[in-house]
Amino acid sequence: MDRKRCTLKLLVQPSRGLVDEMFIILVQKAPSGFQLTVHALHKCEDGHSWEAFGHYTADTIGTVNVSEDPSLGGTYSGVEQMGLLWSLRPVPGSKPGLRLRKMNVQIPMEVTISVYQGHQTEGFMDQVPLASVVVERWYMAPGVSRIPITEDRLSATLFLPPGPGPFPGLLDLWGGGGQLVEYRASLLASHGIASLALDYLTAKIIMETGKMVDLQYFEKAYKILEQHPQVHGSSIGMLGLSLGTSITLKMAAYSEVMKLRCAVCISGSHVQPVDGSMEDILKHFNKNADRTRVSEENEFIWRDLLLPVPSDLAFKVDMGRLKCPLLVVVGEDDQNWPASESAMDMKEMMEQAGNSHLLTVLSYPNAGHLIEPPYTPHARASLFRSMATREKMMALWGGETAAHSLAQEDAWRKLLVFLRENLYSGTNPGTPSLSHL
C-alpha cells in the first residue's frame, strides 16, 4: 500500500490514566481487510526498552478495535484488551534477566502505541509507523501526596489520597530484594487508602548499624499511620508479598501494638521461627540452602527451602491466634516460595482453631511468584540480589505469561474489594479519588 495514500487514524482512550485502568485502542480508516501490526514501546527509567505487538486484520469498514478483535499473532493472541501492556518484553538484544519496575512514581510510564503495515515481528525501530500515539500510565492519581518518612529512623514513604480524610491506612511490604519500593503503595493511595511503603532490608538504619531491624521497627511504622491526623487510626491493614508475608503474619498474630483490621499475603508462607528476629527468619530460610534447585537455564529455584511445611508450632505462625480477616493470594506455579503448600496448611490450622471464617484464599493455576498490579509485564525469571550473600543470580519466579497476567488482574480487583470491605467499615473515608484521572 502506498504510504502517501494512507490516512489511517489511531485513537487510544484514555490517553492518560492509572496503570490499572483499561484503555481502548481503535484503528480507523484502514482499507478493508488491511493487515496491520499494533505495537507498544516503553523506555523505562533504567534505559532499557520494552515492546509488545499484536497482528490484526481490519474489518469491512477499515476498523480494528483491540478490545473486541483477536490478535492473530505477536506477543499475545486472541482478544486481549490490555495485551500490549502485560506482554511487554525487552527488545531484541537486551541483556537477560530484566524486570520492569517503576522507580519514580511522580512521573508517568509513557508508552508509544504505533501501527505498522503488515504482520511484522521485528525491525520496528527501523521503520516509520503509519500512526503513533503516546499514552501516560500513572501510579499516582492527581492530588495524591507523597511524603518521605524518616522519623524513628524509618526508611518509608507515605502516600495520602486527595481530600481531608481521615482515610483507612495500610502498611505495604515487599520481599527479599529490599529497597524502598513505592509503586504499589502509590496506586493504593490512588484508590483511597493511605499507604506506607516500608524498606526493612536495606534501610538507612541497617546501613549505619550493620544490624537487621527488629520487630519494633514495623510497630513504629504502624504507629506513624495510626497517629497521622489524616489516617483513621483504628482502620489499618497490612500487605506483604514474598518475605513481606512472613512479617505480616508474624505481626498480625503476635504483636501487642499492631491491631490490624485486615491482612493480605501474596506469594508467601507462615513458616518461620516464631520466636525469631528478622535475622533469625533469614537464617532459618538459608539453613536449607542445599535444597536449592537449578533449572536447565541456570535459574535458581528456592521453593523447597521451606518444605516440607513443619508440624512443630515453633517453626510456623500459629494461625489460630489470628483475629482479623486474611486474604492469601497464591500462584500455583510459584517456583520461589511454597505458597500453595503453605496456604493449605494455614487453612487446616485455622479450621482446627475455629477461625477459618477469617480466611480467603485466591489460588491461580499457571501463575508465578510475582503477582503485581494489573498489566505489569510478567517476568518468569529475572536477576535478583540475595540479601544473604549480596550475589546477583537469576531467580526463577514461575508462571505462564497469559495466565499470570489474568491472575494479576483478578487478584488486584478482589484485593481492592477486600480492603474496602474491611477497612472502610465504620470509618469516614473522606473523598478519595478511586480510579480516574
Q: What is the pLDDT tens value at each position of the chain, 437 positions in all?
A: 555 456 899 999 999 999 999 999 999 999 999 999 999 999 999 999 999 999 999 999 999 999 999 999 999 999 999 999 999 999 999 999 999 999 999 999 999 999 999 999 999 999 999 999 999 999 999 999 999 999 989 999 999 999 998 999 999 999 988 899 999 999 999 999 999 999 999 899 988 898 999 999 999 999 999 999 999 999 999 999 999 999 999 999 999 999 999 999 999 999 999 999 999 999 998 889 899 999 999 999 999 999 999 999 999 999 999 999 999 999 999 999 999 999 999 999 999 999 999 999 999 999 999 999 999 999 999 999 876 567 789 999 999 999 999 999 999 999 999 999 999 875 443 333 333 23
Q: What is the C-alpha to C-alpha distance for residues 38 and 46, in angstroms, rounded to an integer?
A: 25
Q: What is the C-alpha to C-alpha distance for residues 125 and 323, in angstroms, rounded to an integer?
A: 55
Q: Is 270 a catalytic residue?
A: no
Q: Is 295 a catalytic residue?
A: no
pLDDT at residue 207, rounded to an integer: 87
Q: Which of 190, 195, 235, 242 is catalytic?
A: 242
pLDDT at residue 426, rounded to an integer: 53
pLDDT at residue 435, rounded to an integer: 30
Superfamily of domain 145-424: Alpha/Beta hydrolase fold, catalytic domain (3.40.50.1820)
Q: Which fold has domain 10-138?
A: Immunoglobulin-like (2.60.40)
Q: Are 278 and 215 in contact (CB under 8 A)?
A: yes
Tell me the three cell numbers of residue 204.
538507612
pLDDT at residue 434, rounded to an integer: 30
261: helix, coil or strand? Answer: coil
Q: Which of 39, 42, 191, 369 is catalytic?
A: 369
Q: Give the chain's largest Cα–Cα span.
A: 74
Give domain limits for the chain: 10-138, 145-424
Q: Are 378 and 86 in contact (CB under 8 A)?
A: yes
Q: Which of 69, 333, 334, 345 is catalytic?
A: 334
Q: What is the C-alpha to C-alpha distance for residues 109 and 356, in angstroms, rounded to an integer?
A: 40
Q: Is 334 a catalytic residue?
A: yes
Burial track 353-387 (b if 16+ CB lie within 10 A, e otherwise):
eebbebbeebebebbbbbbbbbbbbbbbbbebebb
Q: Is the Cα dihedral 270, 275, 278, 283 positive or negative? A: negative
Residue 60 makes CB contacts below 8 A (sequence gap 6+) with 32, 33
Nearest Cα to 293, choosing from 207, 199, 156, 396?
A: 396
